[in-house]
């Protein structure tokens, strides 16, 4: 479990993925590649992403949970997939702006 708060940075322990929290607070079971994420700069990388959790994370993309209560921004890409409480996080879709005409 990690404590989420906007601006907090985390890194994967099984790939090069690094993220920053954009929205959400509280304790969360945040994983990447099937392994728990740790505060940036505190963990060493070892092993590989688990099977089924290796779809990858894209640089500069925002990921959110199904309820849209947590949102993170990938600051480094990696081979592992992000998940919250065992449920995969998806790339957040851009909101469409209203037409100006």
Which pLDDT tens digit goes with each residue over 73-87? 999 999 999 999 999
Mean pLDDT, the chain, rounded, equals 93
In the chain, where the domains are located: 2-91
Structure tokens given for 92: 């957040």
Q: Is the pLDDT of residue 43 over 80?
A: no
- The pTM assigned to this predicted structure is 0.88
pLDDT greater than 80 at residue 19? yes
| 2: CB partners within 8 A, 6+ apart | 8, 10, 27, 28, 30, 36, 37, 38, 39
In the Cβ-directed half-sphere of 27, how many Cα atoms lie within 13 Å? Answer: 1
Question: What is the band of 93 on the pLDDT scale with cuts at 50, 70, 90?
Answer: confident
Residue 84: C-alpha distances to residues 19, 30, 33, 57, 99 (Å) = 13, 5, 11, 14, 35
């Amino acid at each position: 479990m990690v404590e989420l708060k906007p601006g907090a940075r985390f890194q994967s322990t099984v790939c090069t993925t690094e993220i920053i929290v954009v929205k959400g607070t509280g304790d969360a079971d945040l994983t990447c590649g099937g392994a728990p994420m740790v505060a940036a700069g505190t963990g060493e990388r070892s092993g590989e992403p688990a099977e089924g959790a290796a779809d990858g994370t894209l640089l500069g993309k925002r990921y959110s949970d199904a309820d849209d209560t947590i949102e993170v921004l990938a600051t480094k890409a990696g081979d592992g997939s992000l998940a919250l409480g065992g449920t995969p996080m998806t790339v957040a879709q851009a909101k469409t702006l209203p037409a100006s005409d």
